[in-house]
Amino acid sequence: MHSATFDLGAVRLEALTAGPSRGRLVILLHGFPESGDAWRVQAAALAGAGWRVLAPHQRGYAGSSKPAGLLPYRLDVLAADVLALADAAGAETFSLVGHDWGAAIAWHLASTSPTRLDRMVVMNGPHAGTVGLHTLLHPTQLLRSWYIGAFQVPFLPEALLRADDFALLRRAMRDTARPGALPDALLDRYAAQWAQPGALGAMLAWYRAIGLQVPTPARTIELPVTVIWGEQDPMLDRGLADAALRLCSKGRLVALPDATHWLHHEEPQRVNDVLLEALA
């Protein structure tokens, strides 16, 4: 596993890289509050199967650029970073894997730039174009997503999350995962990344820019899509997976009944097996 920096013009993205340089490209997109390091186990498996893997630290995270303000963190801008990364890698088309916010970006690209994508796998992340109606029909999802409203408050979330070496953020991840799924070494690596100047505010800007988003079109998605869903996710209910899949003409669901939001850490071998099958 290596690290490389890609100059995309507006931003520079640091990414973990693995696999043969002539292999088919797959890009792995992390969510909040992780980084490209979330995918080390999956990247190794994909590289071993001959894929060229890029797992970027997305804008605002780790060693990547952290633009000021909210406009640089709109979903269409974040999605454009992925296309620019593929261009920088010399790939006209590529496959895409996304978790949490990374899944939201993947859904956006599948709806707006489908000709660039070969296949797609999403994990516990909603299609932004279906969230509004789903939440109206299932108000409990609004309660599950309470933290999004809390993150809109200026300054206070940063102070609370940063306190005592990010104790609250570490505890939030551990308490919503299966015991032992998120080892101290991984959380320590994340904490060092969260502590970089401007990082925490930029990470929260993804949420604070939600009201500025261009809506993701809820149109039919023709490319092959696999959704892997941890059904014990306390933040996102299973109905969000079903709502997104109703847009997919070639979609399938792999439900993991005992996994939570952090399924790629809890059941890495199962996730790897599904990835290799879905992307083959």
* Residue 190 annotated as catalytic: no
Which of 242, 13, 216, 8 is closest to 113 using CA atoms?
216
Tokens of 87: 């261009």
Helix, coil or strand: residue 160:
helix
108 catalytic per annotation: no
Which among 57, 261, 264, 265 is annotated as catalytic?
A: 261
Burial class from Cβ neighbours inside 10 Å (0-12, 13-18, 19+) for residue 64 reads buried
**Which residue among the candidates 207, 237, 264, 265 is catalytic per the annotation?**
207
Measured in degrees and rounded to the nearest 5, phi and psi for residue 231 equal -80, -10
Q: Which residue is catalytic, options 37, 100, 233, 237? A: 100
Q: For this structure, is 233 an active site residue? A: no
117: its two tokens: 């994508």
Q: DSSP secondary structure string, 93-159?
A: SEEEEEETHHHHHHHHHHHH-GGGEEEEEEES---HHHHHHHHHH-THHHHHTHHHHHTTSSSHHHH
Q: Is residue 35 within 8 Å of residue 100, measured between CB atoms? A: no
Alpha helix (H) residue ranges in the chain: 40-48, 75-88, 101-112, 128-137, 140-144, 146-150, 156-175, 184-194, 199-208, 239-245, 263-266, 268-279
Question: Reduced to 3 states, what is the DSSP secondary structure of residue 1?
Answer: coil
| Peptide bond before residue 217 is cis, with ω within 30 degrees of 0 | no
- Catalytically active residues are 100, 207, 261
